[in-house]
Chain A
Amino acid sequence: MTEYHKKLIELFNSSANDFFLSTGVTDVAVASGELPKEAVERGQLFSSSLGFASAKVKGVVVITTQAAVIDATNPQREYIPVFSDADRADWVGEMANQIVGNLKRFLAKYKVDFSLSTPMVICGKDLAVANVAKSQLYVVEFAVVGKKVKLCYSAEFSVPVDFDVSVSAEPEQVAGGDGLFF
């Protein structure tokens, strides 16, 4: 793995880690590497994918996890005693949206911008996540409330990004939880 990809993984990790911490969970652990050719996740699973693209970069993020993680991070968990699978599918899609939103803010420091797609969600038992894409797919496994969250992603840049040169975020770049009023 090159230094370049290590930096990318660091940014993806921070994007996901910041998201999980923003939901109020505190027990978040992380391990990263390259995705094996095939990795079967057992049990009832929820998976969302979200693409992003611009002239400089195109990529995708896929999150696969269990109901326990989705329920533990849902902002309505104090008020809704039992979530349906439809509720879980909705929130796992929003998880992808917020994680890629964080990534977008991090990459803005390196003058990289992109547009996000809306998330696509699937759910089912024993999902096999196979790396058959042309582009390199990386994986980060988070443990959130003691359960696994698998985060697969790829990002291809048409122009190499100099991760050693960070430009400060533009004044109107707004972070999660912040706001601007005009």
Chain B
Amino acid sequence: MSKKKILIVDDSKTIRQQVNFTLTKGGFDVVEAEDGKLGIEALGQHADIAMVISDVNMPNMGGIEMIEALKQAGTHPSLPIIMLTTEGGAALIERAKGAGVKGWLVKPFKPEQLVAAVTKLTA
């Protein structure tokens, strides 16, 4: 059985490496993108992406803007998305929920929590 492919979108290479390492160890394949625009490009290039993990504040295009763009385009209506960010405010969380986000994790993340969330949302 092939591994499920997860897209991590974060402008920090360190965070992308950390998520990549955690999920690879947890049995997933990982694709990386540095901002929302590249995240959308990656989704176009990898039709088999099973889930997206995204930061909020990034240059060029932020995570919530990326998700709102995906929602508007209607190309990935059932793709699970969770946010991994330093932000924890109610207004942003509500906006993300409105755009269809399934979860919100605040950095620094717990590796076991991330793997459990990804496993559940890609089941």
A residues bordering B, Cβ < 8 Å? 22-23, 74-76, 79-80, 86-87, 90-91, 93-94, 97-98, 100-102, 104-105, 108, 113, 116-118, 170-182
> In the complex, how many angstroms separate the beta carbon of B104 from the nearest chain A beta carbon?
5
Interchain CB contact under 8 A, B14 and A104: no
Given contacts A97-B86, A116-B87, A174-B93, 20 further A-B contacts (CB under 8 A): A23-B108, A74-B14, A75-B14, A75-B18, A87-B14, A91-B14, A98-B108, A101-B87, A104-B87, A113-B89, A117-B57, A176-B86, A176-B107, A177-B113, A178-B105, A178-B106, A179-B105, A179-B109, A179-B117, A182-B97
Interchain CB contact under 8 A, A177 and B109: yes
Docked complex Cα distance between A172 and B104 (Å): 10
| B11 interface residue per 8 A CB criterion | yes
B residues bordering A, Cβ < 8 Å? 11-15, 17-18, 21, 57-59, 82, 85-91, 93-94, 97, 101-110, 113, 117
Contacts of B110 in A (CB 8 A): 177
Docked complex Cα distance between A60 and B105 (Å): 25
Smallest CB gap from B17: residue in A = A76
User: Could you say which of B14, B94, B113, B117 contacts A94, with CB atoms under 8 Å apart?
Assistant: B14
Interchain CB contact under 8 A, B90 and A170: yes
Contacts known (A74-B14, A97-B86); A181 close to B103, Cβ less than 8 A: yes
Contacts of B21 in A (CB 8 A): 76, 79
The 9 closest A-B pairs by CB, nearest first: A101-B86, A174-B88, A172-B90, A179-B105, A181-B103, A94-B12, A180-B104, A170-B90, A90-B13
Contacts of B59 in A (CB 8 A): 118
Contacts of B86 in A (CB 8 A): 97-98, 100-102, 104, 116, 176
Docked complex Cα distance between A169 and B94 (Å): 15
Docked complex Cα distance between A127 and B11 (Å): 25
Docked complex Cα distance between A116 and B85 (Å): 11
Docked complex Cα distance between A74 and B12 (Å): 12
> In the complex, how many angstroms separate the beta carbon of B31 from the nearest chain A beta carbon?
18
Contacts of B88 in A (CB 8 A): 101, 104-105, 108, 173-176, 178
Docked complex Cα distance between A75 and B14 (Å): 8
Contacts of B97 in A (CB 8 A): 182
Contacts known (A94-B15, A116-B57); A175 close to B106, Cβ less than 8 A: yes
Contacts of A94 in B (CB 8 A): 12, 14-15
